[in-house]
Amino acid sequence: MSRQYFGTDGIRGTVGQAPITPDFVLRLAHAVGRVLKQTEERPTVLIGKDTRISGYMLESALESGFNSAGVDVVLLGPLPTPGVAYLTRTQRASLGVVISASHNAFADNGIKFFSALGTKLPDAWEMAVEAALAQPPVWVDSANLGKTRRLEDAAGRYIEFCKSTFANDLTLKGLKIVVDAAHGAAYQVAPEVFHELGADIVCIGCSPDGMNINHEVGATHPEALMAAVKAHSADYGVALDGDADRLQLVDANGRLFNGDEVLFLMVNERLARGEVVTGAVGTLMTNLAVEVALKARGVQFVRAKVGDRYVLEELERNGWLLGGEGSGHLLALDKHTTGDGLISALQVLQACVRSRKPLAELLADVTLFPQILLNVRLQPGQDWKSSLTLQAESKAVEAELGETGRILIRASGTEPLLRIMVEARDAAQAKSCAERLVAAVQLG
C-alpha cells in the first residue's frame, strides 16, 4: 500500500493548498494522537517550528487536534529540527513534531515527526497514521482532553547540548565566524552556540520576519555567506538552512565546502585521533573523490539513495556512525540521533582548532571530481529503461571512464525528467559523455 500524504520527510506543500491546510492538520494531529494512544494511555508530544508566518496557524491546528484525542502538548516555539529531536528524547516525550518546510520558500510549510528516541519514524508508523486519517474522528470527552503548556527554556537546553558535542579542552577564542541562519529556526541559538564557545560572531540571516526564511541567504544561497566572510575578514562562515539540519561552510578565502568534503573531514579527523572508523555512508550523488580517498584510508564506503533517511538506514544496517549528503545533511550518530547543521559545523571547527590547520589544508587530499548533471525531458509514456540505444551508450561510457569516473541515470520524482550525471577526473570528458547519453535518450 502506497502512502497518500507522507513523502520522504513528512508531509509538505504550499500553505492553503491540500494537505497544508488548518483543517487537514487538525485531522492529522487527531489521527496521530489516536495511533499514540494505542500503546500509551496519556501521550505527550512536543511541537517546535521554524519562523514561517504560517507556523502560528499550523501550531494551533496541531495543538487542537492532539488535545481532542486526549494527548498533552508541550510547545517549544522556534527551534531547529534537530533541537526538537533532542528534546523529545530528553523530555521523555512520546513524539516530537516539527512545523517546517526546511529549505523551501516561506509560502510552503510541512509537518514531520520524531520518535520518542529522537529518530525518524518507520514507514509502518506512517501507514498507521494514514489508516487512522481514513477513519472518522473519535473526540474524547471534556474530562479527558489533553492539556498544553510551553517549555520556556527549550532554546537554552538545546544550546547546552550543542556545546557539549565540542571538546571540553578546546575553544573557539580568536576566531571570527560569520553565522547565517537563513532567517530560520536557528536565528537565536546558532549565534549563541558559537559565541558561548568563545568565537567573535558576525550574524547574517538572523532577522526573521515570517516571510524571508531562506530568501537569498542560508545553505541554499551560500553566495551571501561567501561575501560576508570576505567583507568582515572572518576566519570561517557557517550557513544553515531554514530548519538548521543542513550545513554549508566557507573558509577565510571565501572558498565553499560542501557536505561531501565535510563528511570526509569528519571521518579523517577521527582517524587522526586514533579512532577506528570501519565505514561511512554517502548517497548516489556523493562525489567519487570522497569514496576514493576514504577507501585509500581503509574505510568502507556505501552509497544510499538520495535522502538523509536512507543514509540513516544504511548507517544503522551496518552499525556505523558517520554519513551524509553533498547538500549538507550530515550524520554523526554518536553525537546526535539525526542530522544537525550546528553539531556538524562544530565537528569541523573542532578539527581545525585541534590540528591548528585551516579547512583547505585538512582537505588537501580530496579534490572533487567534476560532475556534469543534465536533464532530459521525457515524452509521455517514454520507457527509457528499455532503450537499447541508451543501454549501449551507457556501457560504452562506463568502459571509457573505467575506475576514474561513473554515471548515474535516474528519473525525477516530481517532473517528467531524466537526470543524467557523469563524473570524471576530466571536466571535458564528463561533459562529452553526458551529452552522448542525452542524445541516446532522445533517440530512444
The Cα 207–Cα 376 span in angstroms is 39
Q: How far is CA 131 from CA 37, 126, 128, 266, 301, in A?
A: 15, 9, 5, 41, 38
Helix (H) or strand (E) holding 163: helix 154-164
Query: Any residues with CB less than 8 A from the CB of 141 and at least 6 apart, and which?
Result: none
User: Which of 81, 77, 8 minimizes the C-alpha distance to 244?
Assistant: 81
Distances (CA, A) of 229 to 225, 226, 235, 238, 345: 6, 5, 7, 9, 16
d(C-alpha 383, C-alpha 50), whole Å: 41
Contacts of 106 (CB under 8 A, 6+ apart): 52, 53, 54, 210, 211, 212, 213, 214, 215
The distance from CA 232 to its chain's CA centroid, rounded to whole angstroms, is 28
Q: Which value, in Å, is the radius of gyration of the alpha carbons in the chain?
A: 23
Measured distance CA(166)–CA(185) in Å, rounded: 21
Q: Strands 256-257, 247-251: parallel, antiparallel or unpaired by DSSP?
A: antiparallel
Q: Which residue among the candidates 64, 68, 94, 102 is catalytic per the annotation?
A: 102
Residue in 122, 146, 16, 136 with CA at minimum distance from that of residue 69: 146
Phi, psi of 11 (to 5 degrees): -120, 125
For 162, the grid coordinates are 550543542
**102 in active site:** yes
The phi and psi torsions of 85 (rounded to 5 degrees) equal -60, -45
| Residues noted as catalytic | 102
